[in-house]
Chains A and B, each alone.
Chain A
Amino acid sequence: MGSDENEEELLRTVALENARSILRARQRAQRELLAAKEALERRTQELAGSLAMLRATLEATFDGIIVIDRAGTVTGFNERYLRLWRIPRELIDAREHQRVLQVCAQQFADPAGYLARVRDISLTSPPESADVLELADGRVYEQLSRIQYVDGRDAGRVWSVRDITERKLAEAQLRDQREWFQVTLASIGDAVITTDTAGRITFLNSVAEAMTGWTAQEAQQLPLERIFNIINEQTRAPVEHPIGKVLRGGSIVGLANHTALIARDGTEISIEDSAAPIRDSRGHIVGAVMVFHDVTARRLAEAALREADRRKDEFLATLAHELRNPLAPIRQAALISKAPAATEAQKRWSHEVIDRQVQHMSLLLDDLLDISRVTRGTLSLRRQPTDLGSVIDAAVETARPMIDARRHTLTVRRTSEPVRFSADPLRVAQVLSNLLTNAAKYTEPGGQIRLGAHRSGGEVSITVADSGIGISAETLPRVFDMFAQVKPSGDRSEGGLGIGLALAKGLVELHGGWIEAHSAGLGRGSEFTVHFPETAEPQPPGPQPDAAPTTPAAAGLRILIAEDNPDSAETLAQLLRLEGHEVMVVHDGPAALAALTQYLPQVALLDIGLPHLDGYEVARRLRERHPDRPIRLIAITGWGQENDKRRALTAGFDHHLTKPVDFARLTELLRS
């Protein structure tokens, strides 16, 4: 460097050069500053816009939002947050989260629990939290929180809260509905299967599980045809399952008749079903539901009904036949009886024929009435200490004519010592005589019939065995059914209605006993055994047995007979006149009413089914008009049920007799 003066000059030069550079640097800096300032202003405007947008977004959201920094200061919030938590404006202005939380906490039944949960989240600082809050007044809020990262740094936490009360209620309702639906489907008696639109199984109820043999879990998402294999019962051809049709056609489809489901184990089950589409709220098909049930039992019942109907028809034909059969000998006997040339012996014989045939018809009708009472539970027993030997004797006596007529040999083996048991002796004798008559009827003439009795184990057993036509194994289970009748050759030559065994079974069971039938097969004889408990609970009092001993006839009464059947009326009148009574006959209701006031009978026998004015009405009017007249009204009717009798008594009758009139009973009434 040169002299001091030059050096100072050089320093000045350098300094000034520097000054120019600095000036340029400053100008550049100013330009940069200006540009930065403008950019900052733009950015500020953008930021202000973004902030306004952010604010608007915050306010537009359905969530209440609050932002808390790590020091617990509220750095942001929206109005919805204030509304949801009912936070006063002045409180939020204080920006203290703890004070805000206190207000929130007071809205819970357990404020401390809520505060503890928030404190836990704040202390442990999980990346996210989610809580469902149930407030004391029933509101339900969903509270979420996340760490707020600013420039990658944990700056605090953003809390959001949403009112989900309605959603929760709807969910609860839906859950209840779903549960109700599931319970309904599970408890329904029918099998239910649902599928998706591809026909894959989505649901099976327990009935469907039981019928198909597949569990719901196993069947899930399997094609329906895999577990629902159906065939036509008659053709055995596979049948298309109805859900396929439903999904294609969109309408309800019922299954064809005679469809059988082949279960997983090969079991064949007769079913009926229908299927329908499942549609969503827009009507789109989202699946299908099929309901089906086991109709095997119903099919069997229907077959049984058809069989019963067939047997009823057969019975009616038999009944007609059985009722018509006695008519011919009666008519012929009547002709003989009134023939001028008939001798007294012929007349007596014809009277015996008529009496025997009438007895036969009465027995038929008695059986019919008894089986009806047994079936309807209206027959009561007259229990009393009963001597077994006596009832056997009575039964044998009843059956003896037929046994003898067919030249059977009857062997009776009694107990070694007398046996007495609680029973209705008439009904037990009726049972035994039925069995003996059956044995006689279904055994070729000259056969063997054995009756044996014994007592053991508190039980009295009587067996009737024969060497007759026997019973096939196929028929044996139904031998006690109503209208069942063993037909050895397709005709009804042996007679009877086929109700004898059913009646016997009913009477035995009324006694608390039971009856059994055995046979080694057709042509190998039959064996029937009845078992009676030695002692039995006394039966409640019920209808009185119709049978009654005969009594001496009364004489000298003025009697009115009102009967639309002239023959019936006249024959009865003749019988009564033979007994010494004075009898007047009319044939309709008005005539009867007139005769009652003019003829002034002491006894009136009124048919119920009188023309123009029935017997009930005749009785009622007579009792109304002449309440003090000492006349005995006796109803004579084909209707012999208890309520028929009650109805007659209510109308004013004193007695009720069932056609054909038991003349001995009538005589007893007239004497009483």
Chain B
Amino acid sequence: MPIPTEPIGSIPRPPWLLEAIAELGDGTDPRLDAQYERAVRDTIERFEATGSPVITDGEQRKYHNFWTYSVHGLPNTSPDGFRIPFSAGHTRRMPRLTAEPLRYQRYADRYLDAALRYAHVPLKQAVISPSALSLMYPAEGIAGYPREQFIDDLLGEHETEVRACLAKGACKVQIDFTEGRLANKCDPSGNLLASFIDLNNLALSRFSAAERALIGVHTCPGSDRDSTHSADVDYAELLPSLFELDVGQLYVALAAEPEPDRVLRIIREQLRPGQTIFVGVVAPIDPRIETPEQVRDRVLRAAEYIPPQQLGTCDDCGFSPFCDDVSTTRDTAFAKIRARVLGTALAAQELGLA
């Protein structure tokens, strides 16, 4: 049995698409539909060309980013939410909820409509975690809309989105939980992280075991313009909590970690039966394209800690979580993906699994 390998999600948008979006000033403008369709088709063709057994639509239509796509354009939000600082010195600011209720503007399953028209291999779909969106509720609260009600609404919207993706045909739904390390960065006491884990587990508890086997959680220190927002936070503080999430798959950024063996040891200690750990073997923030051999070696190293039957590979992160991130080209992204696919196959061969 080969080692499974999957992408995380985003692929840099083509320049002509970004120009069109810039020209219209809003990435959700219906006049962009044709360009989006073209971008999705091209992305899937190139994705399938890498040999990746599971692909995504490259999140070509997620606007403006992996975090806010579902609430972008809501009338009861303002753009002055919390600021997410990145190591490259720039920040990203979240929207703020200004009035009740919280309702998603769109669910990610709509992205599958176009992708399924072109895909020949299984498609996975990434959605934002409830914990990430929980930060939309303002500190001062909203009159007549208590925080508890907001949390309930949030969980309901998340459940709806995940079920819609599974129903539409996604082979897997991946919950992006990049704020895990950020939580520890904000609250070194760990309380915030624990509450995030709780919230996400509450969301996961709404699904059956069979459904949870198709749901995974991705965590990384963020990736935007070749920089992170929380790579400085020790993985050791995050991973034990991460394994408390009741899901079948965990996607863990590892390629860019300075001490991968240390992380792998923690994973080995926390790994539970029935879980598959997809470790990142290519680093989107690294402009250098890994060779298959490099990837192979990373897989083999991970296999020293993780039983091969519970081991999978992935990208560390999306290649362009924010739509306007042009720090990595599409060519580079697909080259790295190809390296991941080939390197994983080499490792499997090496491990006698192919």
Collect the chain B residues with CB atoms within 8 Å of residue A25's CB.
148, 151-152, 155, 198-199, 202
B139 contact set on A, CB distance < 8 A: 10, 13-14, 17
CA A20 – CA B194 in complex, angstroms?
Answer: 11
- How far is B191's CA from A20's CA once the two chains are assembled, in angstroms? 9
Q: Is the CB of B80 within 8 A of A1?
A: yes
Q: In angstroms, how far is the closest chain A Cβ from the Cβ of B342?
A: 41
Q: In the complex the two chains form, is B192's CB within 8 Å of A23's CB?
A: no
A-B contacts at CB below 8 angstroms, number: 75
A residues less than 8 Å from B85 (CB atoms): 4
Chain B neighbourhood of A10, CB < 8 A: 82, 139
A572-611 CB mask vs B (1 if < 8 Å, else 0) is 0000000000000000000000000000000000000000
B194 touches A19 (CB 8 A): yes
Given A16-B191, A22-B198, decide whether A11 and B147 contact each other with a Cβ distance below 8 A: no
Q: Per a CB cutoff under 8 Å, which of B137, B151, B199 touches A14?
A: B137
B186 in contact (CB, < 8 A): yes
Name the distance in Å between B139's Cβ and chain A's nearest Cβ.
5
Query: Are A7 and B199 closer than 8 Å at their CB atoms?
Result: no
- Please tell me which one of the listed residues B82, B83, B138, B199 contacts residue A22 in the complex, with CB atoms under 8 A apart: B199
Q: Are A18 and B83 in contact (CB under 8 A)?
A: no
**B24 CB contacts on chain A under 8 angstroms:** none
A17, A18, A26, A33 — most chain B CB neighbours (10 Å)? A18
A384→B163 CA distance, assembly (Å)? 129
Within 8 A of A (CB), among B192-213: 192, 194-196, 198-199, 201-202, 205
Decide: A18 and B137 in contact? CB cutoff 8 A: yes
Taking a contact as CB atoms under 8 Å apart, the answer to whether A19 and B191 are in contact is yes
Say if the beta carbon of A21 comes within 8 Å of chain B: yes
A17-B139, A17-B147 given; A29·B202 CB < 8 A: yes
Instruction: Please report the C-alpha to C-alpha distance between residue A24 and residue B201 in the assembled complex, in whole angstroms.
Output: 14
Q: What is the CA–CA distance of A4 and B82 in the complex, to the nearest angstrom? A: 10
A25 to B130, CA, bound (A): 13
A10 to B85, CA, bound (A): 14
Chain B residue numbers with a CB within 8 Å of A20 are 195
Please measure, in the bound complex, the distance between the C-alpha atom of A25 and the C-alpha atom of B135, giving whole angstroms.
16
CB of A8 within 8 Å of the partner chain: yes
Q: How far is the CA of A357 from the CA of B201 in the complex (A)?
A: 151
Question: Which residues of B from 133 to 171 have beta carbons under 8 Å from A?
Answer: 134-135, 137-139, 147-148, 150-152, 155
Chain A residues with Cβ under 8 A from B194's Cβ? 19
- A18 and B195 contact, CB distance less than 8 A: yes
Smallest beta-carbon distance A6→chain B, Å:
11
Given A11-B135, A13-B139, A16-B191, also A21-B151 (CB < 8 A): yes
Cα A23 to Cα B195 with chains together (Å): 6
CA distance A84 to B137 in the complex (A): 69
The reply on A15 being an interface residue by CB < 8 A is yes
A24 touches B192 (CB 8 A): no
Q: Which one of A13, A18, A26, A29 contacts B147 once the chains associate, using CB atoms below 8 Å?
A: A18
Give every chain A residue within 8 A of B232 (Cβ-Cβ). Answer: none
Which residue, B148, B195, B199, has most C-beta atoms of chain A within 10 A? B195
**A-side contacts of B137, CB under 8 Å:** 14, 17-18
Is B202 in contact with A21, judged by CB distance below 8 angstroms? no
Q: Which B residues are in CB contact (< 8 Å) with A29? A: 202, 205
| Residue A321 lies at the interface, judged by CB distance under 8 Å to chain B | no
Smallest Cβ-Cβ distance to B139: which chain A residue? A14
B217 contacts partner chain A, Cβ-Cβ < 8 Å: no
Q: Tell me whether A117 is interfacial, beta carbon within 8 Å.
A: no
Q: Interface of chain B, helix or strand or loop or mixed?
A: helix
Residue A12 is within 8 A (CB to CB) of chain B in the complex? yes
Chain A residues positioned under 8 Å from B192 (CB to CB): 12, 15-16, 18-19
Contact of B33 with A by CB under 8 A: no
- Count residues on chain B whose CB falls below 8 Å from chain A CBs: 28
Complex CA distance for A22 and B129, rounded to whole angstroms: 14
B134 near A22 (CB under 8 angstroms)? yes
Within 26-42 of A, Cβ neighbours of B (below 8 Å) are at 26, 29, 33
CB pair B82–A16 under 8 Å, yes or no, is no
Q: B183 to chain A: which residues have CB within 8 Å?
A: 15
In the complex, whether B304 has a CB less than 8 A from a CB of chain A is: no
**CB of B187 within 8 Å of the partner chain:** yes
Contacts of B83 in A (CB 8 A): 1, 4, 7, 11
CB within 8 Å for A33 and B205 given contacts A1-B83, A12-B187, A19-B195: yes
Shortest Cβ gap from B205 to chain A (Å): 7
CB distance from A510 to the nearest CB of B (A): 115
A25 to B198, CA, bound (A): 9
Q: A15 contacts B187, CB within 8 Å?
A: yes
Q: How far is the CB of B257 from chain A (nearest CB, A)?
A: 25
A-side contacts of B202, CB under 8 Å: 22, 25-26, 29
Q: Is the CB of A18 within 8 A of B134?
A: yes
Contacts of A24 in B (CB 8 A): 148
Cβ–Cβ < 8 Å partners of B151 in chain A: 18, 21-22, 25
The CA of A305 and the CA of B90, in the complex, are separated in Å by 145
The reply to whether B134 and A8 contact each other, CB–CB distance below 8 Å, is no
Q: How far is the CA of A26 from the CA of B83 in the complex (A)?
A: 27
Taking CB atoms, residues of chain B closer than 8 Å to A11 are 82-83, 135, 186
Interface residues of B in 101-152 (CB under 8 A from A): 134-135, 137-139, 147-148, 150-152
- Nearest residue (CB) in A for B93 is A1
Chain A positions within 8 Å of B155 at CB level: 25
| Assembled-state Cα–Cα distance A15/B82 (Å) | 11
Instruction: Report Cα–Cα, A324/B82, bound state, in Å.
Output: 164
Q: Tell me which residues from 328 to 382 in chain A have a Cβ below 8 Å from any Cβ of chain B.
A: none
Q: Convert B4-47 into 0s and 1s, putting 1 for each residue whose CB lies closer than 8 angstroms to a CB of A.
A: 00000000000000000000000000000000000000000000
Partner of B135, one of A15, A21, A33: A15
Complex-state Cα separation, A23 to B134, whole angstroms: 13
Closest A residue to B185 by beta carbon equals A8
* B residues 239-270 touching A (CB-CB < 8 Å): none
Bitwise interface map of A from 164 to 197 toward B, beta carbon under 8 Å scored 1, else 0: 0000000000000000000000000000000000
Which of the listed residues B80, B187, B198, B205 has the most CB atoms from chain A within 10 Å of its own CB? Answer: B198
How distant is the Cα of A5 from the Cα of B201 in the complex, in angstroms? 31
Which chain B residue lies CB-closest to A7? B83
A23 CA to B196 CA in the complex, in Å? Answer: 10
Question: In the complex, how many angstroms separate the beta carbon of A24 from the nearest chain B beta carbon?
Answer: 6
> By the criterion CB–CB under 8 Å, are B187 and A14 in contact?
no
CA distance A19 to B139 in the complex (A): 12
A378 vs chain B, min Cβ distance (A): 114
Task: Tell me if A14 and B135 are in contact (CB < 8 A).
Answer: yes
- A23 contacts across to B, CB distance below 8 A: 195, 198
A138 to B139, CA, bound (A): 86
Measured CB to CB, the nearest residue on chain B to A10 is: B139
Q: How far is the CB of B300 from chain A (nearest CB, A)?
A: 39
Interfacial chain B residues near A4, Cβ < 8 Å = 83, 85
Instruction: Give Cα A8 to B192, complex, Å.
Output: 13
- Complex Cα gap A26–B152 (Å): 11
Hey, which chain B residues are within 8 Å of A26, CB to CB?
Answer: 198-199, 201-202
Min CB gap A395→B, angstroms = 130
**How many angstroms between the C-alpha atoms of A33 and B198 in the bound complex?**
14
A residues 248-287 in Cβ contact with B at 8 Å? none
Chain A nearest CB from B159 CB (Å) reads 13
Report the Cα distance A12→B185, complex, angstroms: 10
- Measured CA separation A4–B91 after assembly (Å): 11
* Chain A residue with Cβ nearest B80: A1
Query: What would 10 A/B residue contacts be, using CB atoms closer than 8 Å?
Result: A4-B83, A11-B83, A15-B183, A15-B192, A18-B147, A19-B195, A22-B151, A23-B195, A25-B202, A26-B199
Nearest 8 CB-CB pairs, A to B? A19-B195, A21-B147, A22-B195, A26-B198, A22-B199, A14-B139, A15-B192, A18-B134
Using A12-B186, A14-B135 as known contacts, list a sample of 10 further A-B pairs with CB atoms less than 8 Å apart, ordered by residue number in A. A1-B83, A7-B83, A12-B192, A15-B135, A16-B192, A18-B137, A18-B147, A25-B152, A25-B198, A26-B201
Interface residues of A (CB under 8 A from B): 1, 4, 7-8, 10-26, 29, 33
